[in-house]
């Protein structure tokens, strides 16, 4: 919230000229009949997606040349707002001339991009990104009908945020890699949840199978479990020296979490592991003190020995702790 948000967005002013033009005069609105397709020796495919009761519905018509699998003509019918009609229109245009297999690769991002006046400026405001998702869904359905397969087979991964096309796998990786703890961070890193917001938590514009809040919670839990496991493994096998660097840092973190950190926090301090460097004689663990630990007399003596002794006992006798 700041100066520019005080008035609230004027929804329609954020539409590109292309959206406005196509809403007012869609080029491919209409139907293709069985008879027309047959006259050209082509196959007619008609697919529906959505329903009036959920606010958006689209019907896509394809006339496909069975010899080449090329979509020679395409039309649409749409129950929806201006952006839904414009998205449907541009979708048919993107389909025409492509083979069915090529058309399946058209995503909602392509549809939205084709509606832009200039490549840098989005064609629709964030909450309307969602309209183009229907186009992507109905194309998959039409392709499934033509090829006689379930449309689900075209989706190689589980998409959590349709608007920004972010997969479950990507989200889990980004959370782990960057140690994300909030939904806002997830949106900043991946754009997921930044548009129609349906995928953030239940109760939004549409029901979802996966929600960011659940993914965040589950991934965080998994991360904690991994940490515990790393610590347990290290303790039981005594194979600290044979671990990779990442595993070593995780194991050290886990031991510190379990045995040391709480005592530092009680005194208003904390610490972080900066680096681990194995040498011939030692495994040097570089740490940095935070908060009240910084400059505390004991941090160079008693506390330091306690940390080192704990790590030595739990992980490896070769560990030497060096504060920086």
Partner 1 sequence: MQVYLDNNATTMVDPLVVEVMQPFFSEVYGNPNSLHKFGTASHPALSKAIDQVYKALNASDNDDIVFTSCATESNNWVLKSIFNDHIVNGDKNHIITTEVEHPSVLSACRALEKEGTKVTYLPVNHQGIVEPHVVRSFITDKTALVSVMWASNETGMINPIKEIGEICKEKGVLFHSDAVQAVGKIPVNLQDVHVDFLSMSAHKFHGPKGIGALYIKNSQPLSPFLHGGEHMGGRRSGTLNVPYIVAMGKAIELATTNIEEKMASIRAKRDRLEDALLELSDTFVVGNRDNRTPNTILISIRGVEGEGMLWDLNNGQIGASTGSACASEDLQANTVMLAIGADNELAHTGIRLSLSRFTTDKEIDYTIEHFKKAVLRLRAISSSYAKVGPTPGGESKACELHH
Please pick, from the candidates 14, 69, 72, 79, the single residue that binds partner 1 as defined by CB under 8 A. 79
Asked if 112 touches partner 1 (CB under 8 A), the answer is: no
What is the rounded end-to-end Cα distance, in angstroms, of the chain?
Answer: 40
Please pick, from the candidates 17, 27, 38, 48, the single residue that binds partner 1 as defined by CB under 8 A. 48
Minimal distance, residue 139 CB to partner 1, in Å: 12
Element (H, E) at 94: helix 82-95
Minimal distance, residue 222 CB to partner 1, in Å: 23
**Of residues 50-69, which lie at the interface with partner 1 (CB under 8 A)?**
50-59, 61
56-65 and 166-167 strand pairing:
unpaired
Is 161 among the catalytic positions? no
Asked if 127 touches partner 1 (CB under 8 A), the answer is: yes
Asked if 2 touches partner 1 (CB under 8 A), the answer is: no
Q: Which residue has the tokens 């519905």?
A: 57
Stretch that binds partner 1, among 173-181, 199-207, 274-282, 296-304 (CB under 8 A): 199-207
Specify the residue, 34 or 275, whose C-beta has the smaller distance to partner 1. Answer: 34
Catalytic residue among 81, 95, 131, 199: 131
Would you say 172 and 182 are in contact if contact means Cβ atoms under 8 Å apart?
no
Minimal distance, residue 323 CB to partner 1, in Å: 46
Element (H, E) at 257: helix 245-259
Please pick, from the candidates 63, 64, 73, 137, the single residue that binds partner 1 as defined by CB under 8 A. 137
Angle between helices 302-314 and 212-237 (to 10 degrees): 80
Quick one: tokens of 173? 């990786």
Is 95 among the catalytic positions? no
Stretch that binds partner 1, among 63-71, 110-118, 193-201, 263-271 (CB under 8 A): 193-201
Specify the residue, 11 or 72, whose C-beta has the smaller distance to partner 1. Answer: 11
Minimal distance, residue 68 CB to partner 1, in Å: 19
Please pick, from the candidates 85, 106, 216, 311, the single residue that binds partner 1 as defined by CB under 8 A. 85
Please pick, from the candidates 49, 211, 240, 289, the single residue that binds partner 1 as defined by CB under 8 A. 49
Would you say 123 and 130 are in contact if contact means Cβ atoms under 8 Å apart?
no
Distances (CA, A) of 234 to 146, 148, 223, 273, 294: 55, 52, 16, 17, 29
Please pick, from the candidates 5, 152, 177, 266, the single residue that binds partner 1 as defined by CB under 8 A. 152
C-alpha to C-alpha distance for 105 and 103, rounded to whole angstroms = 5
Write b or e for each residue in 110-135: b if 16 or more Cβ atoms lie within 10 A of its Cβ, otherwise e.
Answer: bbbebbbeeeeebbbbbbbbbbbbbb
**Of residues 200-229, which lie at the interface with partner 1 (CB under 8 A)?**
204-209
Of 144, 153, 190, 137, nearest in space to 168 by CA? 190
Would you say 51 and 80 are in contact if contact means Cβ atoms under 8 Å apart?
no
Q: Which residue has the tokens 């400026």?
A: 121
Alpha helices in 126-244 (DSSP H): 131-147, 168-178, 183-190, 212-237
Minimal distance, residue 189 CB to partner 1, in Å: 22
C-alpha to C-alpha distance for 25 and 27, rounded to whole angstroms = 6
Specify the residue, 64 or 311, whose C-beta has the smaller distance to partner 1. Answer: 64
Asked if 183 touches partner 1 (CB under 8 A), the answer is: no
Asked if 149 touches partner 1 (CB under 8 A), the answer is: no
- Residues binding partner 1 (CB under 8 A): 8-9, 11-12, 23-24, 26, 29, 31-34, 44-59, 61, 77-82, 84-85, 127, 130, 133, 137, 141-142, 144-145, 152, 155, 159, 162, 196-198, 204-209
The residues annotated as belonging to the active site are 54, 131
């Amino acid at each position: 919230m700041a100066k520019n948000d005080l008035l609230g967005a004027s929804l329609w002013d954020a539409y590109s000229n292309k959206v406005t033009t196509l809403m007012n005069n869609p080029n491919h609105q209409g139907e293709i009949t069985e008879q027309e397709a047959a006259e050209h020796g082509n196959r007619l495919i008609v697919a529906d997606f959505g329903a009036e009761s959920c606010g958006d519905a689209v019907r896509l018509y394809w006339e496909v040349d069975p010899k080449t699998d090329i979509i020679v003509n395409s039309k649409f019918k749409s129950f929806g707002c201006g952006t839904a009609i414009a998205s449907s229109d541009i979708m048919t245009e993107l389909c025409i001339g492509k083979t069915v297999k090529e058309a399946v690769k058209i995503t909602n991002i392509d549809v939205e991009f084709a509606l832009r006046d200039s490549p840098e400026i989005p064609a629709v405001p964030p909450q309307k990104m969602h309209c183009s998702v229907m186009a992507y869904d109905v194309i998959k359905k039409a392709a499934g009908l033509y090829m006689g397969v379930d449309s689900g087979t075209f989706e190689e991964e589980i998409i959590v945020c349709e608007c920004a096309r972010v997969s479950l796998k990507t989200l889990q990786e980004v959370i782990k890699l960057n140690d994300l703890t909030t939904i806002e961070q997830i949106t900043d890193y991946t754009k997921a949840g930044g548009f129609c917001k349906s995928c953030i938590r239940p109760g939004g514009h549409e029901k979802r199978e996966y929600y960011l809040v659940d993914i965040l919670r589950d991934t965080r839990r998994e991360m904690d479990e991994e940490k515990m496991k790393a610590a347990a493994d290290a303790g039981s096998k005594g194979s600290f020296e044979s671990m990779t660097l990442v595993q070593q840092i995780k194991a050290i973190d886990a031991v510190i979490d379990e045995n040391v950190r709480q005592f530092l926090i009680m005194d208003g301090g904390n610490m972080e592991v900066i680096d681990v460097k194995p040498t011939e004689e030692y495994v040097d663990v570089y740490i940095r003190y935070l908060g009240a630990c910084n400059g505390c007399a004991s941090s160079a003596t008693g506390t330091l020995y306690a940390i080192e002794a704990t790590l030595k006992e739990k992980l490896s006798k070769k560990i030497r702790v060096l504060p920086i």
